[in-house]
Amino acid sequence: MPELPEVETVRRGLSPVMAGVRIAELEQRRPDLRFPLPERFASRLSGRTLLRLDRRAKYLLAPLDSREVLIMHLGMTGRFRITHGMEEAGPPADIDPAHDHIVFRMATGVTVTYNDARRFGFMDLVPERHLDRHPLLAGLGPEPLGNAFNAAYLADRARGRATDLKAFLLDQRIVAGLGNIYVSEALHHAGLSPNRSARSLARKSGRPTERAERLARAIRSVLTDAIAAGGSTLRDYRRADGALGDFQHAFRVYGREGAPCLRKGCPGTVRRTVQSGRSTFFCGQCQR
């Protein structure tokens, strides 16, 4: 589920019930997610107030009133769901409560439950002043929707890189937040082949290439649209069953193998290939 737009959607959904609220009790139901949870995790969080809910790349960051920061990553299948005290109907059909691993009982009576079937997600609790040096966060590239990310940056990082654009954009050290879906989507938007070498974005006669310009714009555009879509469908989903982290978005290429290319005037068909072990969807006609 979660690439940057989904994590941002989750952040916006959780903020109203968590930001500024005290955790009356945190229940930890197993010793580990992907990694062992920190020592005394539950007792260090119980009674703390969550000051804000921020996002960096695909990480949720929750600064606490203890000068510590709770770091959360959803992996592949991590989901949060919100339940209000009265509702005891149990989780929706597509959630197996056996994978409810962490339960936040907020002082307001709201419960936020972290469910993660594959357990690729993780949480950590670190002193605020160590956050920037945290091994998980220290090497991350710029936020694609922030000021530091642009064509000139991409062109610089692409210099001499032998890898293809697919792998280049999946690398969180280059730009932080894209995953398998939005890399395909962004490359389609930009009209660039996922097989093209990254170095072909590098500067020519001192200036970022036109391709780098297109790609930077495409990444911003695709992510911005997905966040907008997540935000709007989230409200409907919450009305239905109070859950978070699931939403529909109309992808232009992802998951559309064999279907017509949606670029205006393009006669192509979407193809699926495998790059570094993962599906890539693209149109061989309009992506060069």
Using CB under 7 A, which of 47, 75, 142, 284 touches DNA? 75
Window contacting DNA (CB under 7 A); options: 102-110, 166-174, 236-244, 261-269: 166-174
193, 282 in Cβ contact below 8 A? yes
The rounded distance, in Å, linking the Cα atoms of 231 and 235 is 7
Catalytic residue among 5, 6, 58, 68: 58
* Per CB under 7 A, 227 contacts DNA: no
> Which one of residues 11, 17, 58, 104 is an interface residue with DNA (CB under 7 A)?
58
Q: How far apart are CA 213 and CA 236, in angstroms?
A: 36
Tokens of 73: 């990553």
What is the residue type of 145?
L
Binding window for DNA (CB under 7 A); candidates: 144-152, 156-164, 186-194, 209-217: 156-164
| 262 in contact with DNA (CB under 7 A) | no
Question: Residues 3, 6, 185, 213: which is the catalytic one?
Answer: 3
Cβ contact 157:70 at 8 Å: no
Going by DSSP bridges, is the β-strand pair 78-83/49-50 parallel, antiparallel, or unpaired?
A: unpaired
Is 166 noted as a catalytic residue in this protein?
Answer: no
- Euclidean distance between CA atoms 91 and 179, whole angstroms: 28
Candidates 11, 101, 161, 188; binder of DNA (CB under 7 A) is: 161
58 is catalytic: yes
Active site residue 3: yes
Distance spanning both ends of the chain, measured CA to CA? 28
76 near DNA (CB under 7 A): yes
According to CB under 7 A, which residues from 8 to 47 bind DNA?
A: 34
Task: Name the phi and psi angles at 73, rounded to 5.
Answer: -130, 140
Q: Does 101 bind DNA (CB under 7 A)?
A: no
Nearest approach, Cβ of residue 276 and DNA (Å): 5
Within 112-250, residue ranges assigned H as helices are 135-138, 151-158, 165-170, 180-190, 210-241
Dig out the tokens for 276 from the structure: 């570094």
Residues that are catalytic: 2-3, 58, 278
What residues make contact with DNA under the rule CB under 7 A?
1-3, 6, 34, 57-58, 73, 75-76, 94, 96, 98-99, 117-120, 136, 161-164, 167, 170, 172, 179-181, 198, 276-279
